[in-house]
Amino acid sequence: MLRLHELKLPLDHAPEALRQAVLDRLGVAEAELLDIHVFRRGYDARKKHAILLIYTLDVTLRDAAPVLARFARDPHVGPTPDTKYRFVGRAAPGDARRPLVIGAGPCGLLAGLVLAQMGFRPIILERGKEVRARTKDTWGLWRRSELNPESNVQFGEGGAGTFSDGKLYSQIKDPQHHGRKVLEEFVRAGAPEEILFLSKPHIGTFRLVQMVEHMRAEIEQLGGEYRFSSRVTDFLVETAADGARQIRGVALADGSTIESDHVVLAIGHSARDTFEALLQSGVYMEAKPFSVGFRIEHPQRMVNECRFGPSAGNKLLGAADYKLVHHGSDNRSVYSFCMCPGGTVVAATSEPGRVVTNGMSQYQRAERNANAAIVVGIEPERDYPGHVLAGVDFQRRLEEAAFVAGGGDYRAPAQTVGDFLAGRPSTSLGAVEPSYKPGVTPTDLAAFMPPFVIAAIREALPAFDRQIKGFARPDAVMTGVETRTSSPVRIRRGADGQSLNTRGLFPAGEGAGYAGGILSAGVDGIKMAEAVARSMLGLPEAVKAAA
């Protein structure tokens, strides 16, 4: 079997055109071509009136050897790589040692699943509730302004990614094909098979709920154990005479303890109290950059027409997305983040008296608005110097100010782009209706956001308008604040995946600063499961040190 890259065909090509294009590209006779499998399908929409589909194909020929020899110097033709996932090892029968996984988001879920598949019977601790109960609590904030600090968009089974667009693509390098393992497990759990070949796959919230339940059932069937409403409050660390530190377990909010010498820390980017507990336990961590800004909403139809022209509405293209970056005059980058086509802006706080926004889409992406965060990159040395958790303090100040500006009842402050660029408060909104629930309060976003953030976004919006006409339309609406773009800390780990100064602790995923999104978090969870297995089985290290 060989893999053929970059085969381009018109958007409206006939089904039989794909086979003919392969025959022509490889120069083989009809009888030589036995099968075609679509490994990847994307599109090139740079020319709106001539959008192309771009295929990566696995082709089965009667005799592939002479064709591969003929295309030996062609980077777009080669042998199909082996993407089969292989476990690093398996637990010995009757092994009583059980690793802990803290957090049941994408990272913890994949770490727990792979550990269970290797026979290690992990115990998964989740501070929030199981996914359906958690969904009811989340709706309580959106519909009744009632926040449950332990069960919300940030905390609970499935993690923050459950209430998102469910994007399943990433820019991480993945030579071991861990990403393929994540996608295949998602398909086994009920995701549509198209996520295996679309270049920008997504699932949406409702499907993620069902998938999380299916994966939990498999973990439990394999001997794993879930403990919900189990918030970790302390890390039990033993220090030897030579100063070496070893994790021995964790303490929970109910006063109980669980012993373990191997703990995967998959806590997510909003577990601020857990960051404090880690710091008090002496676990090494450092402040890291993140970004802050607002959610912006436009009519999805406008984005579709701008991106796809006369092909807007084509089912193969779906709802259009965008990715924008502007490098400002003050050496700050402004960029779109977590773009949600046909979605809604959601209340995503996890702490009382604070307002946080995020974006969410269902699988159909059928809502009237497109939304994305427009955020400004900030850095510890420049913007929040001081102690390790100064970034958390920075986030909280903005979230508290947004709560007050919104009216003190979890409504969010909002402003039209026209008013924002003109430097005047909004007293009413225009044709673009904000989707945020429990509602918005028109105001002046510049009144509580740092001036450098406001200046950078004001500079960026006209630049973005030159790329997507209408992006800076006066009635587009911005809602604040977006602060949870990534973790404000990095919990450093070494080449073996373990904390730099605490053996047996494996920092993982978004909360530890090693992932950004569902797919990369799942990949990191698998890597840390492998690191735990190597440690427990006495195998050589294979995890590269992360920066």
Contact 482, 294 (CB under 8 A): yes
Contact 209, 172 (CB under 8 A): no
Identity (one letter) of the amino acid at 125? Answer: L
pLDDT at 542: 64
pLDDT of residue 546 exceeding 60, the answer is no
pLDDT at 96: 87
pLDDT at 56: 97
Domains in the chain: boundaries = 2-79, 100-286+488-537, 289-482
Report the mean per-residue pLDDT for the chain: 95
328-382 confidence digits (pLDDT tens): 999 999 999 999 999 999 999 999 999 999 999 998 999 999 999 999 999 999 9
What percentage of the chain exceeds 90 in pLDDT? Answer: 90
State the pairing for strand pair 369-378/333-340: antiparallel
The position carrying tokens 């508290």 is 400
Identity (one letter) of the amino acid at 356? Answer: V
Lowest mean pLDDT among 62-71, 203-212, 313-322, 380-389: 203-212
Going by C-alpha positions, the residue among 460, 179, 185 that lies closest to residue 330 is: 460
CATH code that applies to domain 100-286+488-537: 3.50.50.60
Average of pLDDT values for 496-525?
Answer: 96
Helix (H, G, I), strand (E, B) or coil at 356: coil
Number of Cβ within a 10 Å radius of residue 325 = 12
CA 390 to chain centroid: 24
Tell me which H or E stretch contains 286. strand 286-287
Average of pLDDT values for 467-482?
Answer: 97
Confidence of residue 506 (pLDDT cuts 50, 70, 90): very high
Helix (H, G, I), strand (E, B) or coil at 4: strand
Instruction: Say which DSSP state 200 is in.
Output: S
Confidence of residue 545 (pLDDT cuts 50, 70, 90): very low
Q: Considering the entire predicted model, what is its pTM?
A: 0.94
138-164 confidence digits (pLDDT tens): 999 999 999 999 999 999 999 988 888
As given in the structure block, the two tokens for residue 360 are 């969410």
As given in the structure block, the two tokens for residue 231 are 């918030």
**Rg of the chain over all Cα atoms, to the nearest angstrom:** 24
388-410 confidence digits (pLDDT tens): 999 999 999 999 999 999 999 99
Confidence of residue 205 (pLDDT cuts 50, 70, 90): confident
CATH code that applies to domain 2-79: 3.30.70.2700
Sign of the CA dihedral with 145 first, then 150, 153, and 156 last: negative
CA distance 461 to 417: 9
Higher pLDDT among residues 370 and 177, named by residue: 370
pLDDT of residue 530 exceeding 80, the answer is yes
Residue 495 half-sphere exposure, CB side, CA atoms within 13 Å? 3
CA distance 523 to 519: 6
Going from the C-alpha of 451 to that of each of 185, 292, 382, the distances in angstroms are 45, 12, 14
